[in-house]
Structures are given as C-alpha cells and as structure tokens.
Structure 1
C-alpha cells in the first residue's frame, strides 16, 4: 500500500511494544527497552529484561519441538483459503474511505479456530488421517499466518493499474498486469532475502511488532481450553459490526455538535467525520472497531508512544483550521480535505488536457490550463511527512546511537563481503543453516534453534530477484510505462540502499516510516514531465522496500515460531502470487461497479477513491510538475525544504533532556509528533477520540491497575476484535455493499442517513 489513513503511519511505523510487562517501564520514549517484568502474573518488579536477547528469550518461548510438522494438507488448505480471503479483503480495504490493514493477529485467530475445527471433526482413521494427522500445532499456524500475510496486502501495482483505468482511460493487458504485480511484489523479496544475515539473524534485529502475535501463539498452544475461552469476544464482535457497518451507520461517529447544528459548514469541517474527507471529527465518538483500529491497534502501542501521537493530533487540528481560515495557499477555494488537483476556481483539474499522446506534460497545454493547486490541508500533510522523515534520522542518531552503531556494524563493507563470500550457490542444500552467518556472541537464541533445519539458500532468493528483474524490464516496455531502463535500475539501487538502512531501523525500533514522498521527489527530478514514469519509478523504488520489510518480518515470525526456513519460503511465495492475482481481479470488479464514486472527492461511507486519487495527484505533481510546484520560488517550495528543517527538530528536545532531565523531554518522540501534524488529511476521522480512549484504558488503566488481567487477555482481545470486525466487513462488502455487483443498502432511517453525511453534518462537497 502507499499510505495509510494515518497519513504516514502504518502498523510498522510506530514504535511497537518491545516487552509486554505489567509495569509501565517497557518503553522509555526513546525506542529503547528499559525494563520489563518476566512474570506476567506478578505485580512485582523482580526479574527485569535488560536487552533484546532477554526479551526474545523471556517474552517468547525459545523451546522447539522438531516433531511438529507444518507440511500438512490442513496447513495448505487453510493457508490457501485465508490467502484468498486476505487478498480479497486487502483490496476491498484499499477502496474504503479509511485504509485498514488486515491484521496478523486476526489471521492467526481465524486460522487457529479453523485448525482446531478440522482437528476436532475430521476422523483420523483410514485415508482421512492424511487430512487430520493429529492436533493442530504452532508450526502449522505460523505457516498459515505467513502465507496469508503475504497475500493480505494490496499490491502497490494495483494503484498504478487503477490510476491508469480511472484517470488515463487505459486498460492494460490482463496478462501484462498480472506479471507487473508478480515482479513488483517479488523484487523486494529477493533483495531482502539476500540480506538475511544482516537484517534478520542478529539479536539486535528484534522486530518488536511481531511480539504480540508470538505471545498469543504461546497462549493458544500452551493454555488448552482456557485459551480457547478467551476467543469468545471474537464471536461477540463478529455480529456487532453489522450495526455500524450496515444497519446503524451513525455509530461510525456520534457527534453531538453535528446533531445540534446540522447546517453549519464550519461545524461540519471541525466536528464532522463519519464520511471520507468530511471533517476532523473533533469530539465525535466512534463505535466501529474497523476505524478505531485502522492501521494500528490502540491496544498494542505503549502509552508513551500514544502521547506523542496525541500531541501531533492536537497540533494537526490547530494547523489545519489555521491554514484553512487564514486562506493560506488559497485554501478556501478548495475542499477542506481532498487529495485531488484543482483549478484556481476550485473545480477539479483535468490532467488529460496537459498531457500529449505519450503521456508527457506539454508546456503549451500546461500554459493554457494553468498550474494546478492542492487543497491546503494536503500540503500540510506533505510538509509534516517530510519533517517526520528527516526528524527520524536525527532522533535515532541522538537517542539511539548505541543501538544504531551496534546494528550498523553489521552493514560495513567487510560484513557485506563476508555475506557474499559465504553465498551458497547450490540450489538445493541438504545440510542445516550456516552458523558463520552470525558471530557466536551475537547469535539470536531462536536462530540457534533453527540451525537444525535446512536453510532456504541465498540462491533461491537470488533466482526470485533475477526472474522478477527480467519480467519487470519486459513489462515496462510492453505496457508503455515511459520509464526507461536506466530509471528502473536507479529505482532498484535506491530501494536496495533503503532496505539496508530503513529495514534495520524497523527491526530495532519498530519504526518503519514511509519513504514514498522522498522516492517520488527523486523520480520527479529524474524524469521531468513524465507522470506515468513517476508512478512506475515509485512502484519499484518504494514498493520493494515495503515488500522486503514484510518478508523479513514474516521470516522473524518463522524464526520465533521455529518454522523451518523452506516452509516459510514456500508460504511466502505462494501467498504473494495468489494475493497479486486476487488483488487484480478485485480491483477491476470494484472499478467496474463503483467508478463514479471512486472519481468523486468525498466518495461515500462505503467506497472511496482517495488512494488512487492520492497516487495520481502525487504522480502528476512530482512526475509532471515538480519544477512548477515545488522548486525554489514556487507555490509549494516549503515541501522539499521541510526535509532540511526536519533534521533540526529533535535537537532542542535532546538538549533540554541532556541538561534538564527532570523536564522529561525524552517522553516526546519528535518524528511521530511531526508525522501526525498531517494525520487527519484523509479518510474517516470520527474514530480518533475513541482510538485514544481505548489506548488509555488498555495501556494505562488496565496495565497499571489490573496487570495480570492485562497480560492474559489484552492482546487476545485485540486480535479477536480485529478478527470479528474484518470477517464481517468481508461478508458485508459482497452481500450488501456492492463489491461484486449491486449494492443493497439498509432502508433509509435517521440512523442510516443516506442523503448526506451519516453524522447529520452539512454535506460540503
């Protein structure tokens, strides 16, 4: 995916829980692990975890049972089924007004339920014993989760294809389209897989975001019936989602201000938020979990990280309102929230009128149409994203220098040479994984357990990269992408360098920030006047980084769960290929049935084109009009300058903490604050108050007052809420919301206002 509704923060872009303790010391505001309690059932502070090795060995079980077999019919059957489900659901969510990620914990819960069902009801006699070889085990569950996880992402290539269909009236050949998705999804896999010895095996590479999943695995497979009883909330919420999603949409955002003053435009902009691009959702209360938990589950993020998030949210409302009502960048000529391009008079910009037959910007035609405008709140988002991206470098260098130095010692030239020298060119290696990939003193205890299993050799990942590389070049020239071969090579070089550093930061800190605007800027200045080329440049330069991070994250799941490497490799490749096909089918189906809604500014509560609108407008702006819009002296010159300013944002806070530590400036995570200043630029915003309320209840009240209950149930309930919600959204999308054809909306009544915004605010667009 390109961007989440959080603007630039996804489930990988906020520092995740590194240790699930019963106190509030596991996160120190710097991305470091300070202390965490080993015994989740104790209120004492004895037995603390001081480093990543301690966390990896105490939070997650290190034990391995080699007799557990993941290569079962049951694992493939459920894995392919959930991969189908996840691939379809991810693409549905791509065309929703609020981008929601398919949760790993949701996949784990559903696969566990299905696995136990097959274990219980399929006889073990005769030939049926092959369908039910015994109790459903942890390695089967991990195999299924990794396969479905690889499928349950909307491929960025579908954005390119969707934009071409919606805005260029181009319908690429189906075969070429599918191969485009295959190649763009697998290039990052190949690059990331060949960097495993640097980005996966060392203890420093903790991948804190997967710890809740592995903690849940331990609970499910070691807790017997008690663990299964924890899943009852899954079934409860499965049916609750019927109400806000279909029967009673007012529950998406109950706004007292909108009900009291329904015909006021200012009230709608500030207090409205149940529909896409409606308003800021101030004081609205949401009862729809899919929006509360969109992007990142509030029950899994530490309170200190949430505090920085909250400060950014408050600043976002202030800045958005100030920019709009002071008419900065002629803000009042355009919708308050939008991702589209506009003429100065506020009408939607027709980009086809400035492009020639080769989809290049024609200076003569541009002079006739004029340089387009963005809505001003979208410019604030671009500024805040760039500020946050640059601030991340400085913040990590100042606050996490020891971690960075330790990790980057793995990235020296000698280390890379060592990796290449040990490169295994045998396509099928019979012995186990090689211990020389990692120094003994730094070896991850979980990785050490994996040495007994045959590795998936580097040559496998190299072949994946080589095949994807060749296919990409062929597709680029067969689809008239306008991206030359040398531009493609530069995008891959940029992706490789980004994978090396940004994926290391994600593995250590849990922070994976969005580099798409940066890649778009580079592509724009390399290929001036070529918006379509910019889309393809971003596809290969940015999507490869995302895919590498997903591959490494899933390989860490396999390592923690002791799933053999070749099983993990098989699951990832199958899931990725199946997901790409399903993404393509669903994209075409939704565009065929909802085209007019996807082209509108606000869309509906059910469908929205905000993602392709965003991708298209960015491609036109950076790829076609970078000089006219963003160069020095131009209208939006401060957008690229924000990269420079952002480098200095963390410095004052670091100085304050260094000399006046009692002021607790270390509590502020400046990149997150900067990112979230543009948070509310898109989507449904009525869920924000509920998001922070749930976070406070979970991460402060329950964690501090009821630590044993928190340790036992918090993450199980988080997974069940995600699971129940997403299952029902999947069913409703096809049954009543028109994903596969005609919509069947619930009969109009006061709680399902179908003539405007669901919260009864004034409809502005």
Structure 2
C-alpha cells in the first residue's frame, strides 16, 4: 500500500512557494503544448497514452478559477440527490446500466449557465452567481454527483434481505452499513494514487469524452464554438430518438430477422433473441437503443486493443453457451437458458428459506430433505470464466506491467519507515499539502505537472477515512447480526487492498472494469470456505471486500477527472466524500420504494423490459451456494468442482501469449489482454444482449476506422460525440423512467402495436 512516502515520489509544492519565473514557465509550457500540438498532429494517428492525453484534451490551466463557490455546492448537492436516485433505478433494470458522467456534466453545465445568466449579482444573490460558471466549478459538481450516482452494494445486501429473507433491517444500522462500506475503499485507493493515478499510462479512457466536452464548453474561439454546435446537435437528436426504442417502438431494442421469420422456435429465441432480459444471445440482432449499446461502457472510448480482446471473448461466449446447453452439461436443459437463480432438479425455483434455520444458517438435515440446488448451465460458465479472468489478471499484469506495479512496494524499507515515524503528526487537519518539486519534472505526466502548484489532499486524510470506516464497519457487522466474525472482516479488507492494485491497474489502462466485477466471485468462494454454512456472512464479506475495490476505482477515476480538469486535490476530496454520503442515503430510500412497488417482478426469473431483479437474484444465489453449500457443490468430486479449479487454469492462461511474444514478437501477442478474453467468455450470461453487434460496429468504426483514416476528426470530435450520445440518452431515460416506466409507481406502457409487443418479447421471439 502506498503511504506518505509515495507523495514524495511525484512531489509538489504550495502555490505560494513558486517564484514568478517558475510559475510562468509552468503556464507557458502548458499553453505551448496544447496550442502547438493541434497544428502539428492534425493528421497524426495517436498511438500511446501520453499522445492521447496531450492531443485530445488540453493541458493548460487557469489557477484563478475558483471551485469553492456556494453555487457549486448548491448544484452539486442537487445533482447528487438526482444521480443517487437514478443509479438505484438502474440497479433494478434488466441490463446493467450506469449513470453517465457526461449526463451529470451536461445537466450541471446547463444549471450553472442558467444561474449565471438569470440570477442578479447583487445582495445575497451574488453568492449564487459570483460570475461566469467556470470549468473547475463544473468539475467539482461532477465529482460530487458521480460519487453519489452509483448504486451502493450495501443496498444489494439490504434488498436480498427484504426479498428473500423477509428481513427489514433497522434504518440507522442500514445507513451506517452504507457509509462504512462506501468509504472503506476510498481510504485504500487514495493511498495508492501515486501508482494508479498520476502516471500517463494510467489513462482512464472512459473519462476522455467528458474532458473533450469540457474543452468544447469552456475554451474560446471558433473551433470551440464548432465543437459546441456539434455537441448540441448530437445531444438533441439522440434525446428525441430515445423516446422511440424506450417507449413508442421497443422493437428497435433488438431487431432480429431470425425472430421475425421464426417467432415460435425455441432454439431461435435462445440464440438470436435478446431484446428482453435473459431472453437469448442476441446473435446478429441490431440494436438502435444507445442506452444498451453504451450501457456498461461507451464503445467510442475503449482502446482498440481492449476491444479486440472483448470481441474474441464474445465469440467464445456464444460457442461455449450453445455447446453447454445443447449437450445438456450439468443438466442444463432442465433449466432456463439464461438465469441467475437456484433451481431444483426439475427446473422449479429453489426455495432457500426451507434449508435455513432461525439463525439464517444452512441446516444439513433440511438440505438433505430439499436436495442440493442447481445452476443454469450458462451461469456455471459465468462462474468459471470469472475465475479464469480474475486469476489471469494477476499473471498478465505481473508479466506485462511489472514495472508499472513495482512502485507499489518501494516504500517497504527501513529508511522509509523511520522517516514516516519521525515526521508523523496526528493533527492531520493541519497538513499544509506542500510537496517538493522533483528534479525529473519533465518526465511527469503533463496534466499532473500542472497540479503540483495546488496543496495536496495528503495521505493522512485518506488514512483517517480508512480507519473510521474500518471501525464503523466492525461495529455494524455485530449490530446487524451479519454472522460475520471480526477476523473474517479483517481478511475481507486485506483481500481488497491487494486486489485494488491489480484490478485498478487493468481498469486504468484499458478502461474496462469488468475484471473488478469478476473479483466478486473469488471473494464469495473464499468466504464460502472460511464461513461455511453462513450465506449471510458471505454477503457481508463480499460487501467489505469486493465493494471496497469498486469504490477505490470510483475514487481514482474521479481524481483522474480532477487531474485532467486541474481541480485542486482538496476540492476533489471534499466533493467525493459529500457526494458519497448523500448518495448512500438516497440509494436506501429508492431501494425500499422500488421493492414495495415492484416486488413480484423483481422475484420473477425474466422480469420485464423495464424492471428486473437479476442483480439481487444473482447475489442471493451466490451467497446461498458459496456461503451455505460451498463444500457440497464446489469441492473436488462435486458437481461444480471446475468452478474453483478454473482459477488455477487462469493463472497460467497468459503464459503462452507472453512466451510466444518473447520469442516471436512479430506475432504481436502483446496485443491481447487475456484477463478480458477470459472474462468475456460469459459476457452474455444476463440482461439484454441484442446490443452487442451494434456495440462492436460503433467500437471499430470509432477506434480503428476514424482513428486511422480520419485522425483529425477523431481528435476533435470522437469523444465529444460520445459524450453527447450518453448525455442525451440518459436525460430521456430518466424522464421516461418516472413518466411512463413506473419508477414512482404504476407503469404506462405504450399501446400494443406491431412494434410494441407488450405481451411477450419485443423482438417477437418465442417467450420461453
């Protein structure tokens, strides 16, 4: 784990310690770099991370801009409430969809511009309109609201308790559960920012559209005005268009010629259907709904190398899923083709309450009466590929990125430890944030170099965040009768600390965070063997381990936004904490509201095109299987023994690629990310799959055709258009969620017609 010594590696100083000559050289260098590159690289194809971050987004900074305004707090708190509510709505959707950062940026810019324009600058009102709404205010608002706009995993634990255990936890303990689990990862991730944040190689591709949009909104000149016009045109067009696939014409979610030709064929539905949750693989379906094309990650932002690896995994996924089902492996044909629930052998849904005693522990006598549960065959493959990808992440990064990770352990020497002890001051709030300017300043990331003039949010702040969260979490697991002992909690946190380094590096480099999600299954497996017979303990173990990794990635992504936007570190830290706490409370309120109004749909296998319980279903079934029946289902000689054994296979999976590249570099084996390939073998295990062909079409058009054939257009407009598409879509989705899709109560579906098959699957495939 990085500590105070890590701050001294890329050190900086307080703004006041710069003399005029030094300060001027900083600004001139940034301005020259950003202004001359545009002229010099109009026709150059961008090849590496440093070229991307200096050519696609500007490096220059204006230190006179103030983010600490009442207006920024006012907009930030309002959007945090909005984003936290929207994120919880998305949690109960049939496809995993996230609140777009661009969406929050657009709304905050519109509100800020309106306040700047219409609020008088006199009297008390001048605090709400101190002048033009600036870039750093906008970044402050985005970080606060994006921290809130994530469905906290703790609400998943609480939702499972309500849906499957008939437990409604105490509101106070629930809120503290949310707070501690959301902030624990911030403490660990913040301490590692020297490795996972500052270097250019840690690109975080997913945030580039946002910063490209910032340049269009806040830079003067004719070029900026042209970019802004393109942005508004695309935003308006997709905003109006989304009303059709989302409500009026839902057949556009998945247009399949095969489904229209054979609407009563079960095999066609499994392979070619995909417009509804858990319907099928969506092979050759065409999706016109940007919400699902860009639901998990915007295809216009992910580097081509990562896209190629996901495509290979996608092809393997379809082959493996079909082979498992039609060869009846693990008795797959007894169960739905795609499902996340546990089943009896005859295919009916397994009643977990019949095997639990009054302490919510698995009773072996009751298990013998009910029999061991089964998974759908495709879900077993999902577990297998999860372990493959997870293990491959460690080996892949140690082979290909060992130099990038080595800095994580440089602090482990006696001289550094003595220095910490000598300089330790428990009065962390008095830390000046002053850092020394390093001798090799020219080698630093140019964006980070511009940040050196601002006081840092020191490691002690993140350490205090970690310690407080740890203590509260330790208390909460006993207050809530989680059945997780203190030593299990400690192991969960240690596991998170190691995982953050590896999964954080892969996410920062490729922009694909699914390997982080895959870590959940490993954690469940470890918890299952540590706390056998305790499904509730399994859920809490996962909460404090896996969720800490996810939260660390969220923090580092938002701090990268701050670095690119030149938002002072202390402002970024403040915004992150406030947004997280407010969002957690709203997640809790919305979770209870949706369960109250949509309970039966959330408990059903397929759900609807609007609501689905697929996420709490999978979380619960994993907790029962791993937490209660790990030895009976997954140990050597048992039905699903290859699930844990696949972890060993994943450890060696990257080796052939590395060996071939070492002796035959012309074959370019370095072009493949084995963790991504392995993880994507189960990409289609859940949700709406009709969007995949459209996703790859957009991805290759953007990251290959445009980038190599039209590099000037790519640099100026690719990420800007991606931002507009995400923003316009999510504004309309939010409106429709409350207006017609039942987020606040009763749904009002569009009247039945050929393009809106309200009685079955929208693509008119057979409903299984």
Matching residue of 2:301: 300
2:339 aligned with 1:338 = yes
How far off its partner does 1:755 sit? 1.0
Are residues 721 and 533 of structure 1, via their aligned partners in 2, closer, same or farther at CA, if it must alter by over 3 Å? Answer: same
Q: Which deviations, in whole Å up to 9, do the C-alpha atoms of 1:261-303 show, x marking residues without a partner? A: 1111101001111110000001111111110011111111223
Give the length in aligned residue pairs.
Answer: 725
Matched, 1:326 2:330: no
Partner of residue 277, structure 1: 278
- Confirm or deny that 1:625 pairs with 2:629: yes
1:601 aligns to what?
605
Contact 1:202 1:438 in 2 (8 A): no
Q: Does 1:528 align with 2:532?
A: yes
- Secondary structure of 1:647 counterpart: helix
1:743 equivalenced with 2:747 (yes/no): yes
C-alpha distance in 2, partners of 1:105/1:301?
Answer: 16
Using the alignment, how far apart are the partners of 1:423 and 1:104 within structure 2?
37
Give how far 1:655 is off. 2.9
Q: Cα–Cα, structure 1 residues 287 and 398, in superposed 2: closer, same or farther, change >3 Å?
A: same
620-629 vs 103-112, which moves further? 103-112
- For residues 616-765 of structure 1, the aligned pairs below 5 Å read 616-764=620-768
- Report the alpha carbon displacement of residue 601 of structure 1 after superposing the two structures with TM: 0.5
Paired residues for 1:405-420 under 5 Å:
405=406, 407-408=407-408, 410=410, 412-413=412-413, 417=417, 420=420
1:157 pairs, out of 145, 150, 154, with 154
Give the secondary structure class of the aligned counterpart of 1:344: coil
What is residue 452 of structure 1 aligned with on the other side? 453
- Measure the CA separation in 2 of the matches of 1:416 and 1:664: 40
Distance 1:417 1:694, change over 3 A: same
Partner of 2:79: 82
Name the structure 2 match of 1:371: 372
Pick closer, same or farther for the CA change 1:378–1:49 going to 2, 3 Å. Answer: closer
Moved more, 110-119 or 483-492: 110-119
In structure 1, C-alpha distance between the alignment counterparts of 2:465 and 2:174, rounded to whole Å: 19
Relative to structure 1, is the Cα distance of residues 418 and 741 closer, same or farther in structure 2, using a 3 angstrom cutoff?
A: farther
Alpha-carbon displacement from aligned partner over 1:211-255 (angstroms, at most 9, x marks no partner): 343333233211453332122211221121111111111111011
Deviation at 1:75, TM superposition (A): 1.2
Deviations 1:550-596 (A, max 9, x none): 11221222222221222112111110011001111111111111110
Cα distance 1:395–1:500, how it changes in 2: closer, same or farther (>3 A)?
closer
* 2:204–2:560 contact (8 Å) kept in structure 1: yes
After TM superposition, list the pairs within 5 Å mapping 1:378-527 onto structure 2. 378-405=379-406, 407-408=407-408, 410=410, 412-413=412-413, 417=417, 420-421=420-421, 422-429=423-430, 431-435=432-436, 443-508=444-509, 510=511, 512=513, 513-514=515-516, 515-527=519-531
Task: Deviation per CA, 1:4-49: give whole Å up to 9, x if none.
Answer: xxxxxxxxxxxxxxxxxxxxxxxxxxxxxxxxx9547745449x87
What secondary structure is seen at the aligned counterpart in 1 of 2:99?
coil
The answer (yes or no) to whether the contact 1:273–1:281 under 8 Å persists in 2 is yes
Using the TM superposition, give the Cα deviation of residue 409 of structure 1 relative to its aligned residue in structure 2, in angstroms: 5.2
For the 8 Å contact 1:428–1:457, the answer to whether it is kept is no
The structural deviation recorded for 1:397 is 2.8
Q: Is the 8 A contact 2:274 2:688 kept in 1?
A: yes
Query: Could you say which residue in structure 2 is the equivalent of 1:575?
Result: 579
Q: Deviations over 1:465-492 (max 9, x none)?
A: 2332232222212211111112111111
Distance 1:298 1:209, change over 3 A: closer
Q: TM-score, normalised by structure 2?
A: 0.90
CA spacing shift, 1:357–1:436, aligned 2, 3 Å: farther
User: Would you say 1:182 and 2:183 are equivalent positions?
Assistant: no
- Three-state SS of the structure 1 residue aligned to 2:755 is helix
Equivalent residues in 2 for 1:129-208 (5 A)? 129-202=126-199, 205-208=202-205
Contact residue 388 and residue 672 of structure 1 kept, 8 A: yes
1:68 is aligned to 65
Using the TM superposition, give the Cα deviation of residue 505 of structure 1 relative to its aligned residue in structure 2, in angstroms: 4.4
* Deviation for aligned residue 1:413: 4.4
Ranges in structure 1 where 5+ consecutive residues have no aligned partner? 1-36
Return the alpha-carbon distance in structure 2 between the equivalents of residues 565 and 408 of structure 1. Answer: 21
Are residue 228 (structure 1) and residue 220 (structure 2) matched? Answer: no
SS at match of 2:129: coil
| Distance in structure 1 (CA, Å) of the matches to 2:273 and 2:537 | 38
How far does residue 669 in structure 1 lie from its aligned partner after superposition? 2.3
Moved more, 615-624 or 199-208: 199-208
Measured in 1, the distance between the counterparts of 2:265 and 2:376 equals 20
RMSD: 2.4
Q: Quick check: 634-643 or 130-139, which moved more?
A: 130-139
CA distance in 1, matches of 2:628, 2:601: 26
Does the aligned pair in 1 maintain the 2:281–2:684 contact within 8 Å? yes
Cα separation, partners in 2 of 1:80 and 1:424, compared to 1, 3 Å: same
Identify if the C-alpha distance between structure 1 residues 531 and 65 changes in structure 2 by more than 3 Å, giving closer, same or farther. same
Structure with greater helix share of residues: 2
Q: Flag the 1:653–1:211 CA change in 2: closer, same or farther, 3 A.
A: same
Q: Is the 8 A contact 2:282 2:689 kept in 1?
A: yes
Deviates more, 1:702-711 or 1:690-699: 702-711
Is 1:591 equivalent to 2:588 in the alignment? no
The CA distance in 1 between the partners of 2:612 and 2:294, in whole Å, is: 18
Measure the CA separation in 1 of the matches of 2:439 and 2:577: 25
Query: Does the aligned pair in 1 maintain the 2:227–2:716 contact within 8 Å?
Result: no
Give the superposition deviation at 1:311: 1.5
Q: Distance in 2 between matches of 1:355 and 1:444?
A: 55
Distance 1:444 1:424 in 2: 30
Query: Displacement of 1:634 after TM fit?
Result: 0.5
